[in-house]
Structure 1
Amino acid sequence: MQALAFNTQFSADTGHSIVVHPSVTRTTAPNASAYTFTGTNSFLIGHERLALVDPGPEDQAHYHALERAIAGRTVDAIILTHTHRDHSAAAPYWRQRLGAPLWSNGPHRLSRPLRRFEVNRIARSGDFTLVPDRVLQDGALVMAGDVEIVVHTTPGHCANHLALGIVGTDTVLTGDHVMGWNSTLVSTPDGSMADYFSSLDKLIALPYRRYLPAHGGEIENGPDYARALKAHREMRNSQVVAAVEGGARTIGQVVAQIYPTQSPKVRMAARMTIAAHVEYLAERGAIKARHTLLGTRLSPA
């Protein structure tokens, strides 16, 4: 198995259209941040007829860049890999502008119900009011413009996440499920670590080698990279168990042990993902977690 190595040298060439596959063009939005890397990648699939995947944020410069890339061709559908706003906020604009239907795996939804007194830390990131014209189901074969794609449900990062395979090729659009620049944020209850692991296994078993993520550059050996991501998460599971067995009784104490020198911003994101690991491990009996008004209390199994 290859060692996990992130590629942070990606040149987004924001505002310009880059051909990344004979049937796929990438245009990166100017919404770079600690969570979006160089910005959200919007994709056009097709040749004479197109599908627009992940139109991205509400941004005039990105609108103009996509107009140039579309170049007057017919867009048959707008497809969302998922409904976090950095991918979906511009969907209503393009649905009206192009008269094209919106396709996704349904409105934004949580991976599980909120517990009493629980707060969804990334509630504002989800586009809960956006309703698609067509709900894409696992295994569906659909025409994206003049190119056939197959839909793969890949929940984990969020519940309605999809990957889109280009039929007859080794290429798949992986959204935020697998990215080359960083590991994916899994924040419960928006996302689910159990689903994330299952979706990694599912993607690894599919006949694709080249992954096109929604942030950062393409991944040339996707299955090996996904295996390395899985091993990384399994290592985090072991670290959480060790921290709890060593006396950590809160998620904050676990984060402090695993990330002792990282910045507060990194720790904030880490806290969300560690909470997802804690939930995953507690469900499997590897640790105990008791949810109280004052937070989650941890103890060894």
Structure 2
Amino acid sequence: MNQASPGQIVRLEPLVARVLANNPSPYTNSGTQTHIVGTTDLAVIDPGPIDEAHLGTLLTAIEGRPVTAIVITHTHRDHSPLAAALKERTGAPIVGCAPLVLSDGGPRADAAFDTEYAPDRVLADGESVGGEGWTLEAVATPGHTSNHLCFALPEAKALFSGDHVMGWSTTVVAPPDGDMGAYMASLDKLMRRDDRIYYPAHGEAIERPQRLVRGLMGHRKQREGQILRLLRDGTGAVPAMVERMYVGLDRRLLPAAERSVLAHLIDLRARGLATEDGGIWKPAA
């Protein structure tokens, strides 16, 4: 697949085109990729952040054709905010994941969420939306966020994997909403599918998806093993663990690494393998 620049419309296969938003960052790679499905009538998956230039490119790609649905994988602000403006211009309903409002007493992650997201229809696991020659079936994949959905396109044996499986990096799993146990279960769910190709929201298409998913599961198991060894060695504070586990990491990504390690620790505690007291973690007795 050819890496595009913002503003380019790339045809990936007969039913799928891609448009890159101009929002590169350490967390989004080259930016958020919006996918357009269909030929006669269309679905637009993850229209992206509020950006008039990106909206203009999407309307150019749509070429006046009817839009059956604006489809959202999850409500991080680089994925869903442009949906409202696209709905206003096309009249298409917003469908997909549920709204997500966090209410917890711990460190909050909702600054990254689109609090104005208002779907016309929430899709449960296995429910679908379709048009002429295409169907998008919701595949519930919580973990990165509790409301995350992937979307299968059975006509092409393709899966739009959102941020659950990406083509450039491992997925951030950040408590309080991100859940490592749910993330691993969702990876296992994808392993049992036979999709031909994944189209992620960040990074290039994944042409051997089961191999990558197996590798992601192995990577997380390795991280878990590292954490358990550090606990046994007496390293119980998350920042200290990150310093030892992520040598050479871009300093801008340290907060995400700390949240990922915390997600592993919370999962280990739920499984009876770790305990915590005052922010210091220990192996369970």
TM-score bracket, shorter-length normalisation:
over 0.9
Matches within 5 A, 1:247-262: 247-262=234-249
For the pair 1:167 / 2:150, whether they are aligned, the reply is no
Q: Does 1:42 align with 2:30?
A: no
Contact 1:176–1:215 (Cα < 8 Å) also in 2: yes
Aligned to 1:297: 280
Distance 1:107 1:162, change over 3 A: same
Deviation at 1:109, TM superposition (A): 4.2
Q: Secondary structure at the match of 1:18?
A: strand
Task: Work out which of the residue numbers 18, 24, 30 in structure 1 matches 2:16.
Answer: 24
Displacement of 1:13 after TM fit? 2.4
Residue in 2 aligned with 1:3? none
Q: Percent identity?
A: 37
The TM-score with structure 2 as length reference comes to: 0.95
Show the counterpart of 2:255.
268
* 2:46 aligned residue: 54
**Structure 1 residues 154, 144: CA separation in 2 closer, same or farther (over 3 Å shift)?**
farther
Aligned positions of 1:173-252 closer than 5 A: 173-252=160-239
State the TM-score, normalized to the length of structure 1. Answer: 0.90
Relative to structure 2, which stretch is displaced further, 233-242 or 12-21? 12-21
Q: Determine helix, strand or coil for the equivalent of 1:230.
A: helix
Query: CA contact under 8 A between 2:81 and 2:116: conserved in structure 1?
Result: no
User: Residue 39 of structure 1 contacts residue 215 of structure 1 at CA under 8 Å; is this kept in 2?
Assistant: yes
One-letter amino acid matched to 2:47: P
Describe the superposition over 1:17-45 as per-residue Cα deviations: whole angstroms up to 9, x where unpaired: 11112211100100010000000000111
User: Which of 93, 107, 127 is residue 119 of structure 1 equivalent to?
Assistant: 107
Q: Does residue 143 of the first structure (1) align with residue 130 of the second (2)?
A: yes
Query: 1-side partners of 2:143 and 2:221: how far apart?
Result: 15
Whether 1:13 aligns to 2:5 is yes
1:74 equivalent to 2:66? Answer yes
CA contact (8 A) 2:158 2:195 kept: yes
Structure 1 position 269, deviation (Å): 1.7
Q: 1 or 2 for the larger relative contact order (CA 8 Å, sep ≥6)?
A: 1
Alpha-carbon distance, 1:153 to partner: 0.6
RMSD of aligned residue pairs (Cα, Å): 1.6
Unaligned runs of 5+ in 1: 1-8
What SS class does the counterpart of residue 57 from structure 1 fall into? coil
Instruction: Supply the AA of the counterpart residue of 2:24.
Output: A
1:226-267: CA deviation from partner (whole Å, max 9, x where unpaired): 000010001000001111111112111111121233332132
